[in-house]
A = this chain, B = another copy of it.
Amino acid sequence: MGLGVVVSLEEGRDKNAPGDAPDKAPANALEVLLRLVAEDFAKVDTEIRTRMVSDVPLIPELAGHIIASGGKRLRPVLLIAAARLCGYEGERHIRLAACVEFIHTATLLHDDVVDESALRRGRATANIVWGNQASVLVGDFLFSRSFQLMTQDGSLAVLSILSEASAIIAEGEVMQLTTANNLATTEDDYLQVIAAKTAALFAAATRVGAVVAGRPADDELALADYGRYLGIAFQLIDDALDYQAEEATLGKTVGDDFREGKITLPVVLAFAAADESEQAFWRRCMEQRDQADGDLETALRLMRKYDTLDATVDRARHYGNMARAALARFPDGEYRRALEGVIDFCIERAY
């Protein structure tokens, strides 16, 4: 892993984002940041692998599976970059970045059990390979280990931020259960869910960067805002991609959310605009989950008819702009520019 992952990740991005206009080069925007933090990133990787060790072999085996499957490691990278943006020169951010990744990994393990997912980032999910039981318990282990590491770091401010974020994530996930298969879900409900389940950890990660650097509260909150708005944009795009991306790009099956009856913004907007027969279609597919061949195509046609995927991306751009504005108080420089680039990456990926 380590730098190897960075490189293969970059290559993957370059290949898998054929829609990118060369002048936008959003894949390169993430690449710029990854190059900038490469040394720290390698240390985080070592910290993660060292700290997931246990006398119970199944734990590093299962945790290694999901952590090795890589993903973008956006959250720890954001924490590192935020700390460096704030001029931090120490080493505490390494361990705390690993904590954030452990929390994220624990939620992924539990999510895959909750969603009964079979595929994540193109690989079989841990619940499929080792069973739901092991996924639940190894998630619990990583979560606990994360709090052990934070305690070793010794900052109550950091513990407060990350324990609150963890509670909010769980609330967001429970909220999502109650919006699933429920077409009464409004755009506000949806935003509340994604702010909690996704953006809270982004916000905590970037905020912790300012905390370790000992920055004043205003800077802390500005970086929390950056993370929060970026996280919302990221999830909006994720939910749009679920109806658009090639399987190879997304690493999961197109239309998963549709098949599960998950009410994401593209559906919320299409249902709000629907005529009576279209409403009946959505109710049958999403509420009764009575789906047949061709229904996903009909759903996509209705989204195109009301332009709800573009509207979702527009919302993401709006939050991206807010994230950018939150960075304005920080001096121009390579870290600020790289963090701005991440906004573009999150929004433009696979478009």
Residues of A near any B CB (own CB < 8 A): 54-56, 58-59, 106-107, 110, 113-114, 132-134, 136-138, 140-141, 143-145, 147-148, 150-152, 154, 156, 159-160, 163-164, 166-167, 169-171, 173-175, 177-178
Contact = CB atoms under 8 A, between A and B. Distances in A.
Contact of A56 (B59, B148, B151, B171): B171
A contact face: mostly helix, strand, loop, or mixed: helix
A110 B134 CA distance: 11
23 contacts: A54-B171, A56-B174, A56-B178, A59-B171, A59-B174, A114-B137, A133-B177, A140-B166, A140-B169, A140-B170, A141-B170, A141-B174, A143-B166, A144-B164, A144-B166, A144-B169, A145-B167, A147-B163, A148-B160, A148-B163, A150-B163, A151-B160, A159-B159
A100 to B, nearest CB: 14
B114 A133 contact: yes
Contacts of A56: 171, 174-175, 178
Nearest to A167: B144
A138 B58 CA distance: 25
Count identical subunits in the complex. Answer: 2
A160 B154 CA distance: 10
B110 A170 contact: no
A162 to B, nearest CB: 8
B160 A136 contact: no
A166 B137 contact: no
A79 to B, nearest CB: 18
Contacts of A144: 163-164, 166-167, 169-170
Contact of A156 (B156, B167, B174, B178): B156
A102 to B, nearest CB: 11
Nearest to A175: B56
Nearest to A193: B56
B54 A137 contact: no
